[in-house]
Chains A and B, each alone.
Chain A
Amino acid sequence: GEDVEQSLFLSVREGDSSVINCTYTDSSSTYLYWYKQEPGAGLQLLTYIFSNMDMKQDQRLTVLLNKKDKHLSLRIADTQTGDSAIYFCAERNSGNTPLVFGKGTRLSVIA
């Protein structure tokens, strides 16, 4: 079945770049997403990438996709304390299936 794996924790200093990694198993994944969850809140869509792209940039966020290795990463430039949250990677194939989420990476930003 489909599976999405992420490391559970990441700690960075304010101003540094953060890189959150994700691997997935479904080779037919068509859409891949990054969501952010702040304490006590639901999930907020940060960005997404189609499987025919290998990079997408949106302000401080850069998404890299290596389809051959089934590896997705999210780079946050100039990380701020407000970026402290749990980041979820999710994938979906083009079929009639719901999003499959990883367990989330808790990003802690140290001032």
Chain B
Amino acid sequence: EAGVTQSPTHLIKTRGQQATLRCSPISGHTSVYWYQQALGLGLQFLLWYDEGEERNRGNFPPRFSGRQFPNYSSELNVNALELEDSALYLCASSLVGTGGVGGYTFGSGTRLTVV
């Protein structure tokens, strides 16, 4: 069974540009979560999508947005990139309702560097 896949692995953008990160969940998982892992800050929750809807949002500005497609894959968009957006962006998936039992399955992340 394929795990959670994220693309691209690495992304280099210039300040002010837009970045698009993609995530495919484990087959059968309907929930997708996005976390930002910046140096020294641990994992900060960004967004949670389930069945195409945004279920919860972390304390991030509106230039962080995303969506979930009918096949449950998800996209994270970051507009007007700032230097401090440089981080590892991790996507995770779970079965809604049982996510609390088995936790999340994480992808390997997209390393975004803003120069």
A27 within 8 Å of B (CB atoms) = no
A67–chain B nearest beta-carbon distance, Å: 16
* A97 contacts across to B, CB distance below 8 A: 56
In this complex, what residue of A is CB-closest to B91? A42
Secondary structure call for the A interface: strand
Other than the given A31-B100, A33-B103, A96-B56, 7 more pairs (CB < 8 A) read A42-B106, A48-B103, A88-B42, A97-B56, A98-B56, A99-B45, A101-B43
Q: How large is the interface on B (under 10, 10 to 19, 20 to 34, 35 or more residues)?
A: 20 to 34
Task: List the interface of chain A (C-beta within 8 A of B).
Answer: 30-31, 33, 35, 40-45, 48, 88, 90, 92, 94, 96-104
Residues of B within 8 A of A (CB): 4, 33, 35, 40-43, 45, 48, 55-56, 58, 90, 92, 99-109
Kindly provide the distance from the CB of A43 to the nearest chain B CB, expressed in whole angstroms. Answer: 4
